[in-house]
Amino acid sequence: MRSVGWVPSYLVETYLARRDAEGIAAHEARARSAAEELTREGTSVSFEGSTHVPEDELCFFAFDAPSREVAALAAQLAGLDALRVVEAVSSRTGQVR
């Protein structure tokens, strides 16, 4: 059951070459800035971090957002070249959302 205030999480999957791994911090800064911009404009979005998988040359950027479309918009504003945007379910807090 979803609680009041529950916001879904989305993973934005991007290509990130192994040799570009140093650029993750810059990508994260842009993602955080885009989420803050959307929030200031009235759409609550938060950037939660990224996971780089060098062997597959993929990077996943996690956003808490009201919809897949809003997460995709945050990625676009951040200049992330999204391959896809999917809802993610985490059990880190002990609760599956």
Tokens of 40: 């200031």
Nearest C-alpha neighbor of 75 from the set 10, 5, 20: 10
Condensed to tens digits (0 to 9), the pLDDT of residues 36-82 reads 999 999 999 999 999 999 999 999 999 999 999 999 999 999 999 99
Residue 93: per-residue pLDDT? 57
Mean pLDDT value across the chain = 88
Tokens of 65: 């957002």
Helix, strand, coil share of the chain (percent; to 5): 35, 30, 35
